[in-house]
Amino acid sequence: MNILLTGGAGFIGSHTARALLRRGDAVTIIDEFNDYYAPRVKRHNIEQTRAVGPCTVHEGDIRDLAFLRTVLQGAPFDAVCHLAARAGVRPSIAQPFLYEQVNVLGTLHLLQLAVEHKIPQFVYASSSSVYGNLPTAPFREDMQLDQPISPYAATKKACELLAHTYHHLYGMRCIGLRFFTVYGPAGRPDMAPFIFTRNMLEGRPIQQFGDGSSLRDYTYIDDIVAGILAALDCACACEIFNLGNCRPIRLDAFIQHIADAVGVTPIIERQPMQPGDVQMTCADTAKAQALLGFKAAVPFELGIRQFVAWYRAHADLYR
Ligand SMILES: NC(=O)c1ccc[n+]([C@@H]2O[C@H](COP(=O)([O-])OP(=O)(O)OC[C@H]3O[C@@H](n4cnc5c(N)ncnc54)[C@H](O)[C@@H]3O)[C@@H](O)[C@H]2O)c1
């Protein structure tokens, strides 16, 4: 298949690009290499991808429709895998307009161009954050969701609505993937697995938001990539799938797992829960298992050891 992959220099995107190349797909990446975290990390990701196989990289902004048109001109893509986004929950509160522009307008641009270029398959990243502070777990895709608690979550929900609209109007297959807190090698430096690992290795304190009882369904990157590839191959018309581990971990246990993997006693600074943070995420993946054959295989204890080993070998990239 010939895949247009947005956000292909990022964490999930670069792992996805390599998996696609390994199975023989052609990959064209769009990424703006922004400084949400160090662009050199994203360029390193691209180098790692190019070590697997050749891929085309277009540096530019998905808000720029003229730029997108030049990329799509004359290239017969079989599928769009749209992962580019502003991805942090807390920063979306400080920069709501940016999040709306990149995540909603950017997605609308890609949906519209996919229609114009008759690209039959549109797979896009949504997020567990769309579940907000639902008291009932595990979260199922058919739950009524209209109470997001961050601008980021609201933009992801808006993308799901747009994808449904485009499927309804034009019949293209639109598959949304609600990722549940993804971690692993080259993981995002703004996320807890990364920050906690780095701080513990450097002997610095970590900030624990809340009393330690909040729960997160951490999902290893290889499992997420398997789900993305299955979605690209899926013939279903318009669906949304949870991609999660189905095994939420309490924050205090999460901290202890990382401390065990690093081999230290953590120095913990307790802080109040942050605005926009949800108390719990927990995926029900029965639908993804039935229709995509998705089942998370990597337990957190193993995945976090692999992440810590990776970070030890790559810490220089982040200095
Ligand atoms: N990592 C997670 O735990 C997680 C959880 C739920 C959803 N997601 C979603 O998965 C997708 C990938 O997330 P990630 O963790 O790999 O993040 P990431 O920040 O590592 O990757 C996103 C990539 O998109 C690019 N990008 C951002 N704005 C762009 C723009 N305007 N034009 C072109 N490129 C742009 C960035 O440069 C970056 O390389 C995102 O849509 C995110 O919202 C991630």
Domains in the chain: ranges and CATH:
2-186+218-246+282-298 (3.40.50.720)
The pLDDT score that the predictor gives to residue 16 is 99
Packing angle, helices 39-52 and 11-22, rounded to 10: 10
- For residue 106, give the ligand 1 atom closest to its CA: 31
Q: Pick from 5, 6, 11 the residue to mutate for probing ligand 1's pocket: most ligand atoms within 8 Å of its CB.
A: 11
The pLDDT score that the predictor gives to residue 76 is 93
3-state secondary structure at position 206? strand
Q: Is 170 a catalytic residue?
A: no
Output the six-digit token pair for 30: 């769009």
The pLDDT score that the predictor gives to residue 109 is 98
The pLDDT score that the predictor gives to residue 276 is 79
Query: Can you list the residues of the chain whose pLDDT is less than 70?
Result: none
151 cis-preceded (ω within 30 degrees of 0): no
Instruction: Report residues whose beta carbon is within 6 angstroms of any ligand 1 atom.
Output: 7, 9-13, 30-34, 36, 42, 61-63, 83-87, 102, 106, 125, 127, 179, 181-182, 188
Q: Indicate which residue's Cα is closest to atom 23 of ligand 1.
A: 7
The pLDDT score that the predictor gives to residue 74 is 80
| Predicted TM-score of the model (pTM) | 0.97
- For residue 152, give the ligand 1 atom closest to its CA: 43
The pLDDT score that the predictor gives to residue 63 is 98
The pLDDT score that the predictor gives to residue 277 is 84
Strand 249-250 to strand 215-216: parallel, antiparallel, or no bridges (unpaired)? antiparallel
